[in-house]
Structure 1
């Protein structure tokens, strides 16, 4: 039996089950999209697959119980890091000026103090988000070092409360100045939306769900299962995004990936999988049991570009003439 793979497969199943799709969904739109002649390169620290064992191997024995940051994703839209907090250590109290951040606690116990919320302790598989201009702080309150995965936008700007005892060294060419922040904290959800919550523990509440859905950051848990341990065909392209890279936190089970220019591989729990903008990629649940990948990208309704099928139009590229509208 074939793996239960993509949204297209799901739509097909819905159609077979008698659930009609809307005219807008049923109508296929084809566009000529730009494509690099060679696959978009991987630029450090980005890698197709980063394992937690690789991250730990970079730490010297003297630093294994200390606080450290290790960036694993950095592109034009997003940045993400593994962060360990030593026992008793805490982040500074801070704000994010105009964008959101998301956190996945993986080891230990972290107390989150977020303005407008009662402090809470996040443990393994807890997902947390902080809206713009909302003061927050993290503290390791456990008896062992804590570990979490954090995602910020690439253009995130951190500010610090007036009462801060110290300030970090500013970026080159900058200094610190006290200003009045306006407007106030951004609401968790815009009018008419209820999907954003401050925290959810995946172990306690497993499932498929949108966790962060906001301009500049989309964190989406995709859960499914496979009927066997068959790899996808190497010819399965999947889709590509011409405007942004995408990455996944493997929360549960195993996910098999086809990424253009990379040998097919199976990812495990705790892995970070990344694909640059423009590369074909396809993810599939692997082996029986539940599999969950947390997809992370900058666009809640980002465009997916799929290759035409044999039954769809695939004409030759028209003659190239003149300049692009924005060139």
Structure 2
């Protein structure tokens, strides 16, 4: 085995605008660490064979290919990520269509609007219209619905707890779920107070991408869901010998928000991704994301099931 060193970057708590609410505005980080890195080297277990990509998981889902596969359709779901912790889909909802009101029992659901416009209604929040670049967070046990507004379908990239089944109010008819039946119940405790520490939405292109500055801030963080906003200027492509890091316990994936992001992932040559693409590094694979030299500034949105996920860096 090789000696491995740790580098973990603690994301900065920042306020990104009144309309998005405060992100950890003066509050204690929900998962604090004692230092930015571990002082000494250590041994970390790494799979001798790279963890395979089982469908629908792919190292690189290109938005252009997804749209081509669904050309002529208005309502569709394209599974993108399936792992033991998180599920992610691209979802198109036709013009004038509306989802049933639903909620999730124990974990949030978030999405990024890629195209079109939608009216989002979340219990306890004034309805708002989300357009391209909006990042939306629904706390657990809050009913919500989505309605496409305008003359074209809305398209979103949605991330949920793996295998999580939606719950419905009694005035809705639940969608059939193989192997399950829906029964009437009552429950405790009540809805999450998540809005105290996480924004309900971020209007990325208005609040973040309104200048040429780097940005490293949290979107949503809890003990079971982590997503940052990582924005930076173009960088030279590192040599292939620079392996980056790996995560021993979790799979990480990214949504590309703007610009071009380059990746070197174990088992694959360097490639570049564009807005709307989704890139995945399976558990245990070396990976090195960087802002590609072909765009002045780029942003990626990582998704992880735990904060603060451990980054194991090579020492040679």
Instruction: Pick from 179, 183, 207 the counterpart of residue 189 of structure 2.
Output: 183
Point out the more displaced range, 282-291 or 119-128.
Answer: 282-291
Q: Quick one: distance in 2 between partners of 1:90 and 1:223? A: 33
Q: Deviations over 1:277-320 (max 9, x none)?
A: 000001111125111000111112111111124xxxxxxxxxxx
Paired residue for 2:27?
none
In the TM superposition, residue 203 of structure 1 has moved relative to its aligned partner by 0.4
User: Which structure has the higher relative contact order (CA within 8 Å, separation 6+)?
Assistant: 2
Count of aligned positions? 282
Instruction: Report the TM-score, using the length of structure 2 for normalisation.
Output: 0.84
Instruction: Report the TM-score, using the length of structure 1 for normalisation.
Output: 0.81
What aligned pairs does 1:150-161 form with structure 2 within 5 A after superposition? 150-161=158-169
SS in 2 for 1:72: strand
In the TM superposition, residue 120 of structure 1 has moved relative to its aligned partner by 0.5
Q: Quick one: distance in 1 between partners of 2:112 and 2:177? A: 27
CA contact (8 A) 1:248 1:295 kept: yes
SS in 1 for 2:184: coil
Paired residue for 1:313?
none
Superposition CA RMSD, Å: 2.1
- Runs of 4+ displaced beyond 6 Å: none
Q: If you compute each CA radius of gyration, which structure gives the higher value, 1 or 2? A: 1
CA contact (8 A) 1:232 1:258 kept: no
C-alpha change, 1:176 and 1:124, in structure 2 (3 Å) is same
What aligned pairs does 1:57-68 form with structure 2 within 5 A after superposition? 57-59=68-70, 61=72, 64=73, 66-68=74-76
C-alpha change, 1:109 and 1:268, in structure 2 (3 Å) is same
Instruction: Pick from 57, 60, 78 the counterpart of residue 70 of structure 1.
Output: 78
1:37 is the counterpart of 2:44: no
C-alpha change, 1:27 and 1:297, in structure 2 (3 Å) is closer
SS in 1 for 2:205: coil
CA contact (8 A) 2:217 2:230 kept: yes
SS in 2 for 1:204: helix
Q: Quick one: distance in 2 between partners of 1:226 and 1:141? A: 36
Instruction: Give 5+ residue unaligned stretches, structure 2.
Output: 1-5, 11-32, 209-214
Instruction: Give 5+ residue unaligned stretches, structure 1.
Output: 1-6, 12-21, 310-327
